[in-house]
């Protein structure tokens, strides 16, 4: 059975490693292995002493303990270490879903959060974030109308990619109450957690017994090359089934990755603060720029994370779709923006990535080109 094209990763594969100006990257500025070791008080010699044998399938106990401390009342037994965050999406969906189930999935979203459950159960029911003046909102009346007898799971990601939206505590509590009322699994991708610019919400793992929480080191910590992630699963039976499925995918995480992940978590606060400082500087640049082009673009300030979702006035910029606009920028000017269509949304939005240190240069190149449209 074929799965849908992974539009986001295909788009990046086409342009990311050849274009000069990356304006769409969702990760944060990274560091080298040498820098990571130096910052954490470790040495290359220690890394060189890591043996290349198998590791525990559930994950290194010390690493799981470090991860568990990030969540209130979570034990290391409730953590499953992953070979990559996207593995956690697959393992969770593969374990829980069966043909005939329905999954309600928040949109826009990273492709895997929609396409994997659709592939496994056949039916995705989209629940769209609603764009308002200057912000985004959840529509709970629509959500309640979407829940049916075959609904098995709700899929969300907070802080949200690509809008940077964070629900209020009352809205998040309402989502948990609805999930509990209908006995639904709540899959919550929290990969941007720690990059909030204002009020935060609790992790779903802290407030709901049927939550499956995904996180990792790629975004907030700026270490996507480690491919290190984890699931937090409170339900013991589900956790055992997911670990069993992991035997069929990756068996275990590489020993060097787990060693470096432990070192990264020792300095997690420093890495997150570094990322936030870069993002906040780039946000200032964005806000100043989009005030000057409000007839062509609608800017909604993100509340968290390293991305923003910007609406285009297609008539003003002279393109029929954001997809055509983005391909034109990449092919002719080496500027990479991600079209909203890749994220399952209307094709008049583009994603900006705010986490890179050279964002200002890329934005200036973009601004120069836009003046010619």
* pLDDT tens digits for range 23-66: 999 999 999 999 999 999 999 999 999 999 999 999 999 999 99
> In this structure, are 121 and 206 located in the same domain?
yes
> In this structure, are 109 and 199 located in the same domain?
yes
Q: What are phi and psi of 108, to 5 degrees?
A: -65, 165
Number of domains forming the structure of the chain: 2
In a domain, 174, yes or no: yes
What confidence score (pLDDT) does residue 229 get?
A: 98
Q: What is the CATH number of the domain that holds 227?
A: 3.40.640.10
Give the contacts of 359 (CB within 8 A, at least 6 positions apart). Answer: 23, 278, 282, 285, 353
The model's pTM is 0.97
Asked if residue 373 has pLDDT above 90, the reply is no
In a domain, 313, yes or no: yes
> In this structure, are 253 and 339 located in the same domain?
no
CB atoms within 10 A of CB 51: 8
What is the C-alpha to C-alpha distance for residues 208 and 234, in angstroms, rounded to an integer?
9
pLDDT (tens digit, 9 = 90+) per residue, 210-267?
A: 999 999 999 999 999 999 999 999 999 999 999 999 999 999 999 999 999 999 999 9
Asked if residue 294 has pLDDT above 80, the reply is yes
What is the C-alpha to C-alpha distance for residues 79 and 81, in angstroms, rounded to an integer?
6
What is 234-283 written as a DSSP string? Answer: --HHHHHHHHHHHHHHTSS--HHHHHHHHHHHHTHHHHHHHHHHHHHHHH
> In this structure, are 185 and 55 located in the same domain?
yes
Q: Beta 21-22 vs 335-336: how paired, if at all?
A: parallel
What confidence score (pLDDT) does residue 368 get?
A: 97
What is the C-alpha to C-alpha distance for residues 300 and 135, in angstroms, rounded to an integer?
5
Range of the domain at 282: 7-31+269-370
> In this structure, are 230 and 218 located in the same domain?
yes
Choose one of 239, 267, 295: the last residue of a domain.
267
In a domain, 38, yes or no: no
> In this structure, are 104 and 139 located in the same domain?
yes
In a domain, 208, yes or no: yes
Choose one of 236, 267, 298: the last residue of a domain.
267
In a domain, 2, yes or no: no
> In this structure, are 276 and 256 located in the same domain?
no
Q: What are phi and psi of 294, to 5 degrees?
A: -65, -15
Choose one of 216, 244, 267: the last residue of a domain.
267
Question: What's the whole-number average pLDDT of the chain?
Answer: 97
What confidence score (pLDDT) does residue 316 get?
A: 94
pLDDT (tens digit, 9 = 90+) per residue, 102-155?
A: 999 999 999 999 999 999 988 999 999 999 999 999 999 999 999 999 999 999
The helix (H) or strand (E) run that includes residue 13 is helix 7-15
> In this structure, are 335 and 188 located in the same domain?
no
What confidence score (pLDDT) does residue 122 get?
A: 84
What confidence score (pLDDT) does residue 1 get?
A: 72
> In this structure, are 258 and 288 located in the same domain?
no
What is the C-alpha to C-alpha distance for residues 35 and 46, in angstroms, rounded to an integer?
14
> In this structure, are 239 and 327 located in the same domain?
no
> In this structure, are 62 and 156 located in the same domain?
yes
> In this structure, are 219 and 136 located in the same domain?
yes
In a domain, 39, yes or no: no
Q: What is the CATH number of the domain that holds 291?
A: 3.90.1150.10
In a domain, 44, yes or no: no
């Amino acid at each position: 059975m074929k799965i849908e094209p992974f539009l986001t990763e295909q788009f990046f594969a086409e342009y990311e490693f050849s274009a000069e100006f990356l304006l769409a990257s969702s990760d944060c500025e990274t560091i080298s292995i040498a820098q990571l070791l130096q910052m954490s008080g470790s040495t290359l010699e220690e890394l060189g002493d890591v043996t290349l044998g198998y590791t525990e399938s559930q994950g290194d106990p010390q690493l799981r303990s470090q991860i568990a401390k990030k969540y209130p009342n979570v034990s290391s037994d409730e953590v499953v270490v992953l070979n990559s965050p996207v593995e956690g999406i697959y393992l969770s969906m593969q374990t829980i879903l069966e043909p005939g189930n329905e999954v309600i999935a928040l949109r826009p979203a990273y492709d895997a959060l929609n396409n994997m459950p659709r592939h496994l159960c056949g039916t995705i029911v989209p629940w769209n974030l609603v764009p308002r003046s200057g912000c985004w909102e959840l529509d709970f009346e629509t959500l309640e109308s979407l829940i049916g007898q075959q609904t098995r799971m709700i899929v969300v990601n907070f802080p949200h990619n690509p809008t940077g939206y964070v629900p209020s505590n009352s809205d998040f509590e309402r989502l948990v109450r609805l999930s509990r009322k209908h006995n639904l699994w709540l899959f919550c991708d929290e990969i941007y957690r720690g990059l909030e610019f204002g009020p935060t919400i609790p992790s779903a793992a802290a407030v709901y017994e049927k939550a499956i929480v995904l996180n990792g080191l790629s975004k907030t910590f700026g270490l996507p090359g480690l491919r290190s992630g984890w699931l937090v699963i409170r339900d013991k039976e589900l956790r055992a089934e997911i670990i069993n499925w992991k035997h069929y995918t990756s068996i275990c995480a590489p020993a060097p990755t787990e060693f470096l992940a432990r070192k990264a978590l020792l300095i997690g606060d420093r890495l997150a603060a570094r990322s936030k400082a870069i993002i906040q500087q780039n946000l200032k640049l964005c806000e100043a720029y989009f005030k000057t082009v409000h007839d062509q673009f609608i800017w909604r300030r993100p509340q968290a994370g390293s991305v923003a979702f910007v609406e285009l006035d297609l008539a003003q910029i002279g393109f029929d779709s954001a997809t055509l606009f983005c391909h034109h920028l990449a092919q002719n000017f080496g500027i990479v923006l991600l079209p909203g269509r890749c994220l399952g949304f209307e094709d008049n939005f583009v994603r900006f990535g705010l986490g890179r240190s050279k964002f200002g240069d890329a934005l200036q190149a973009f601004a120069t080109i836009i003046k010619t449209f």
